[in-house]
Structure 1
């Protein structure tokens, strides 16, 4: 089976696609969280054990394709409710374990503070210690690497500025969330988040991958920053949307 070409977003199931990956330098993704979100094609309400198996299978393929010193950055909320199990789990802990089991090693945990006041309706036990509901205004980006924490690259291919490096190495990033209406996708994340991760953890000319491409934000940002990109997405409507965005993307 041949390797996929870069600088494309493929309408393909991630489990099937990862076996065809070329070498990649950096993966940035926000996977489905199994919350029952309507993605049009993908079933987002699997039994928890099936969901874990699915994510592990994808990330094992990502690990195999990742170069030594390559990184993976996974955006997840701190916790989710598992409806079928009628319980709540720490999603960042779950993904820490999954990534470790797949062979990756822990590097850092970035707190993405959304700087957003949401409409509060899910109070739990309102004004009572009986069962209050805590809604964190932040998400995490889990940063792991393959084999070596040091990534080899040419000095001329570094594009992060001094001021950016100083600011972004502070692990609390305040970035407004992306609008669902603007992207026509139910679970988008902002280009600024991808921009920081790409410039912090890759060199110009590296290949950036997203196994759950959605509206294509990872790939669009990679193109703007003169990286190769590769994305997988099941829903052809989102593939078309991402390709439209890629056509409008201008290099920085």
Structure 2
């Protein structure tokens, strides 16, 4: 017997819902996925957890500021005051701001910062972490280490976005053995944006206002994003990410007036994106020259 997957049809003035079938469904409006989440695959995989929903406010002296200090201890901030964290941590590959850490030390550094991020996020708050994998001999799957450590902290994973940098990724010649199966290497033209939530997948809307357009929503909810990388020379930073990246995360995951944090602020791309989207921001960086560059960029935004 052939089992046809149900679809969503309007029946007697209302939409007929779908449910998980042997062959899946083509649409998801009103979809009942309880059968899928009831399978053994999801045993012991926690969903929403009860950790309280109270929100605190960021002290006024830290609203729309960039601090020159480590984000391993964000003592300035109370618990549960940030709605979204967007960041790209240092890659520990020898950039001028990098320390020469072992893999274990590097993971410990990131885990210390992301533990603080977890503390300051509100229930339902999100964290978007832009990372790239490293090396070839062997290949270091940094994104998988970050996922494991974030889950260990207590984050819920929402998904991952592939940032396809396309031609802007550069004309790399690190292809290994040329036109030979002896030892060819893959040339990465993508990075990851890993998306997590604290405590709940939902972020209480109450009276908050969305600012995302229909076209943006349809585009940003796809798991592959394509836009060019930022020029390091133009940005004044060895590894900048384009404003487009945090802007998309901010539009998709926050409401107008929400508070956005970047614990590895660099030259302030996240802060600029927050300003453009009508959100507040707080950034941290340990190098004064990058803080100064970020403040100059923000001043230019304020004048436009």
Q: TM-score over 0.5 for the alignment?
A: yes
Q: 2:68 is matched with which residue?
A: 11
Cα distance in structure 2, aligned partners of 1:120 and 1:171 = 25
Contact 1:158 1:204 in 2 (8 A): yes
Shift of 1:170: 1.3
Q: 1:49 is matched with which residue?
A: 104
The runs of 5 or more residues in structure 2 that have no matched partner are: 1-57
Cα distance in structure 2, aligned partners of 1:190 and 1:97 = 26
Q: 1:118 is matched with which residue?
A: 170
Q: 2:122 is matched with which residue?
A: 67
Partner-residue secondary structure (3-state), 1:107: strand
The more displaced of 63-72 and 160-169 is: 160-169
**Deviation by residue 1:206-230 (Cα, 9 ceiling, x = unmatched):** 1100000001000111012111100
Q: Select the residue among 274, 289, 293 that pairs with 1:222.
A: 274
Cα distance in structure 1, aligned partners of 2:262 and 2:217 = 24
Q: Does 1:25 align with 2:25?
A: no
More strand per residue:
1
TM-score for the superposition, normalised by structure 1: 0.91
Partner-residue secondary structure (3-state), 1:101: helix
Shift of 1:127: 2.4
Cα distance in structure 1, aligned partners of 2:62 and 2:170 = 41
Q: 1:58 is matched with which residue?
A: 113
Between the two structures, name the one with larger relative contact order (CA 8 Å, sep ≥ 6): 1
Q: Select the residue among 193, 197, 206 that pairs with 1:145.
A: 197
Q: 2:146 is matched with which residue?
A: 95
Kindly report the root-mean-square deviation, in angstroms, between the aligned alpha carbons of the 2 structures.
1.9
Shift of 1:153: 2.2
Contact 1:215 1:241 in 2 (8 A): yes
Say how many residue pairs are matched. Answer: 243
Cα distance in structure 2, aligned partners of 1:251 and 1:103 = 41
CA distance change for structure 1 residues 109 and 214 in 2, over 3 Å: closer, same or farther?
same
Contact 1:225 1:251 in 2 (8 A): no
Contact 1:224 1:251 in 2 (8 A): no
Q: Which one has a bigger Cα radius of gyration? A: 2
Cα distance in structure 1, aligned partners of 2:254 and 2:268 = 18
Cα distance in structure 1, aligned partners of 2:303 and 2:181 = 53
Contact 1:10 1:233 in 2 (8 A): yes
Q: Does 1:187 align with 2:243?
A: no
Q: 1:81 is matched with which residue?
A: 135
TM-score for the superposition, normalised by structure 2: 0.76
